[in-house]
């Protein structure tokens, strides 16, 4: 039996799973819209709910405008704006037209925006900030880029003949890596990559039209866009968009809209846990955590306070979703679970690097043939993550190969050290890095979020001594007010190193 059979609903066999039956994202979405045109589909606080039929007609109209402006399948469209109904309409229109969407972080500064514009050469930019629009125009230079707002207020045009004509191999998203180390690279994802992952999650998480997701995650990241939005549309469900995360706002939206689903990153779950209001999550059908490691202790705290046994999962920009704890079965804290439908996973001999194959795996990096070649090993995508499998096949993420610290000839994976130190009740979060050392090569340093007080360096070093071999123990503990994070709450290790140098 294939390992991912554990994710299938009762009565469904692996041979009955056809992840690419709809061929493309529009193929899946338009069928859902036609089946239930009046279904409430997307909500924001400005417009309220729009139905499936309204999303179809509005995105069709915007697609006509874009085609009338001269855009043709394969051209790139940079989209950088806060989550809104208008943004979803523009995104869906571009996807239906066969354009390649570049989701760009709204927190990027001019240099970062210029890198993407220069690298990807978009023909159109959809933004909600005039300054960002000027940065895009300046970076494009002599090559003209049409810059519009999220309402895409340009002249109307007829329905393009090629609307919804894309196939599974056609490109859909050019997603730039989060850039926690080095310059971001563009991962080119096809309709098949995105559809197969959304379909796998629909099956694995029992996602149905009856579900309503509260989504405070940004739509420029794969967690919010490829999982939250695309998953909702593929399942024919409903999504309540939030412009950011605040405990009161999130819990208010969950209650007001009788939500069944909430997806968050560990920092969100941590803030919910410390709010004293976890009990308000009991009505959810499912809570999911991802994009960064979820501490096992936090997992148990959320279960105790809300009754929610969170599903932790594992995905990447280049592969959308790979692995998930099962809906039916043991959801094991500290693990990310079992391969999702369609995904093959193995650990590289000698390094335990996680290798992946499947319809969700991208074809390569945009105009980076050397980087692409380095990333694939005999047809398997090398993730850069180091993993361990237990006797039941559950995957645990040990750390990143590039974050490996070599001290005195011994390998130290930061994740293992971080997990030990997070067990201290006064530690908000911790990042472990290696700094150059003349004798040891690298020295293990723990950077702890929160000012020193009741918790001292000696306390944490004692904890490390009790739980780690000598070569893994931090030689120094540095307290900082806040660890540097990207927009999804993931700690940026390169910036941590700069904090303590």
What the chain holds in terms of domains, given with CATH numbers, is: 3-396 (3.40.50.12780), 404-500 (3.30.300.30)
Of 385, 302, 217, 319, the closest CA to residue 311 belongs to: 302
Structure tokens at 432: 């472990």
Label residue 178 by pLDDT band (50, 70, 90).
Answer: low
How many Cβ atoms from other residues are within 10 Å of residue 245's Cβ?
18
332-350 mean pLDDT = 96
Mean pLDDT across the chain:
93
Of 193, 172, 174, the closest CA to residue 120 belongs to: 174
Structure tokens at 342: 């369609």
User: In Å, what is the CA distance from 350 to each residue of 111, 184, 285, 347, 353?
Assistant: 39, 28, 41, 9, 8
Query: From CA 343, how far away is CA 232, in angstroms rounded?
Result: 21
Q: Quick check: 438 pLDDT over 80?
A: no
Label residue 451 by pLDDT band (50, 70, 90).
Answer: low
Contact status, residue 487 vs residue 218, Cβ threshold 8 Å: yes
Query: From CA 206, how far away is CA 243, in angstroms rounded?
Result: 26
Q: What is the pLDDT of residue 183?
A: 67
Structure tokens at 312: 């932790």
Start-to-end CA distance of the chain, whole Å, equals 51
Dihedral pair phi/psi, residue 489, rounded to 5°:
85, 5
Q: What is the pLDDT of residues 117-173, one digit of tens each?
A: 999 999 999 999 999 999 999 999 999 999 999 999 999 999 999 999 999 999 999
Structure tokens at 29: 């979405």
Query: From CA 316, how far away is CA 179, in angstroms rounded?
Result: 13
Of 435, 428, 433, 474, the closest CA to residue 455 belongs to: 428
Q: What is the pLDDT of residue 494?
A: 78
Contact status, residue 81 vs residue 57, Cβ threshold 8 Å: no
What pTM was estimated for this model as a whole?
0.87
E-only strand ranges, 21-123: 40-44, 48-51, 76-80, 100-103
Q: What are the b/e assignments for 367-406, b being 16+ CB within 10 Å?
A: ebeeebeebeeeebbbbbbbbebeeeebbbbbbbbebbbe
Q: Quick check: 347 pLDDT over 50?
A: yes
415-438 mean pLDDT = 85
Label residue 181 by pLDDT band (50, 70, 90).
Answer: very low
Dihedral pair phi/psi, residue 133, rounded to 5°:
-60, -40
48-59 mean pLDDT = 98
Label residue 439 by pLDDT band (50, 70, 90).
Answer: low
Q: What is the pLDDT of residues 292-325, one digit of tens each?
A: 788 888 999 999 999 999 999 999 999 999 999 9
Q: What angle do CA 460, 385, 18 make, to 5 degrees?
A: 135
Q: What is the pLDDT of residues 192-231, one digit of tens each?
A: 999 999 999 999 999 999 999 999 999 999 999 999 999 9
Q: Quick check: 474 pLDDT over 90?
A: yes
Length of the chain measured in residues: 501
Query: From CA 375, how far away is CA 266, in angstroms rounded?
Result: 28
Q: Quick check: 26 pLDDT over 90?
A: yes
Ordered DSSP codes for 216-263: -S-TTSTIIIIIIIHHHHHHT-EEEE-SS--HHHHHHHHHHTT-SEEE
List 29's β-bridge partners, or say none.
Answer: none
Q: Quick check: 453 pLDDT over 90?
A: no
Query: From CA 471, how far away is CA 140, in angstroms rounded?
Result: 50
DSSP 8-state secondary structure symbol assigned to residue 450: S
- Diameter of the chain measured on Cα atoms: 70
Query: From CA 132, how far away is CA 108, in angstroms rounded?
Result: 9
Query: From CA 11, how far away is CA 236, in angstroms rounded?
Result: 22
Handedness of CA 314, 317, 318, 319 (dihedral sign): positive
93-120 mean pLDDT = 94
Dihedral pair phi/psi, residue 200, rounded to 5°:
-60, -40
Of residues 468 and 86, more confidence is placed in: 86
User: In Å, what is the CA distance from 374 to each residue of 200, 368, 382?
Assistant: 28, 10, 8
378-394 mean pLDDT = 95
């Amino acid at each position: 039996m294939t390992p991912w059979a554990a994710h299938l609903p009762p009565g469904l066999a692996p041979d009955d799973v056809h992840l690419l039956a709809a061929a493309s994202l529009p193929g899946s979405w338009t069928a859902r819209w036609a089946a239930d045109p009046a279904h409430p589909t997307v909500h924001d606080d400005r417009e309220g709910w729009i139905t499936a039929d309204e999303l179809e007609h509005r995105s069709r109209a915007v697609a006509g405008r874009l085609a009338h402006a001269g855009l043709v399948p394969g051209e790139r469209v940079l989209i950088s704006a806060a989550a809104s109904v208008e943004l979803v309409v523009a995104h869906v229109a571009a996807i239906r037209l066969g354009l390649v969407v570049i989701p760009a972080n709204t927190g990027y500064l001019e240099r970062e925006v210029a890198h993407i514009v220069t690298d990807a050469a978009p023909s159109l930019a959809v933004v909600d900030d005039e300054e960002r629009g000027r940065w895009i125009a300046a970076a494009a230079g002599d090559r003209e880029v049409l810059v519009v707002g999220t309402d895409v207020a340009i002249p109307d045009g007829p329905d393009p003949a090629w609307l919804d004509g894309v196939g599974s191999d056609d490109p859909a998203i050019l997603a730039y890596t989060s850039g926690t180390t080095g310059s971001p690279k563009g991962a080119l994802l096809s309709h098949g990559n995105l559809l197969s992952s959304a379909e796998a999650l629909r099956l694995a998480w029992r996602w149905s039209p009856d579900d309503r997701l509260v989504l405070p995650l940004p739509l420029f990241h794969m967690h919010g866009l490829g999982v939250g939005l695309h998953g909702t549309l593929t399942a024919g469900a409903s999504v309540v968009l939030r412009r950011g995360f605040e405990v009161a706002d999130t819990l208010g939206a969950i209650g007001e809209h009788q939500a069944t689903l909430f997806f968050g990153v560990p920092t969100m779950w941590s803030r919910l846990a410390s709010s004293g209001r976890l009990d308000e999550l009991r009505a959810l059908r499912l809570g999911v955590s991802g994009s960064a490691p979820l501490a096992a202790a936090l997992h148990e705290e959320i279960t105790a306070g809300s009754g929610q046994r969170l599903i932790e999962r594992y995905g990447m920009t280049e592969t959308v979703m790979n692995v998930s704890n099962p809906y039916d079965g043991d959801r094991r804290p500290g693990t990310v679970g079992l391969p999702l439908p369609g995904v093959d996973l193995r650990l590289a001999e000698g390094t335990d690097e996680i290798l992946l194959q499947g319809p969700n795996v991208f074809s390569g990096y945009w105009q980076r043939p050397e980087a692409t070649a380095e990333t694939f090993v005999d047809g398997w995508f090398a993730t850069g993550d180091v993993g361990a499998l237990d006797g039941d096949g559950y995957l645990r993420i040990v750390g990143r190969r590039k974050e490996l610290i070599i001290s005195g000839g011994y390998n130290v994976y930061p994740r293992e050290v971080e997990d030990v130190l997070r067990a201290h009740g006064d530690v908000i979060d911790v990042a472990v890095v290696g700094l150059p050392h003349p004798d040891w090569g690298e020295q293990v340093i723990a950077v702890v979020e929160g000012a020193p007080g009741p918790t001292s360096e000696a306390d944490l070093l004692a904890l490390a001594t009790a739980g780690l071999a000598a070569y893994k123990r931090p030689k120094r503990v540095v307290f900082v007010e806040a660890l540097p994070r990207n927009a999804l709450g993931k700690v940026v290790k390169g910036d941590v190193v700069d904090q303590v140098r």
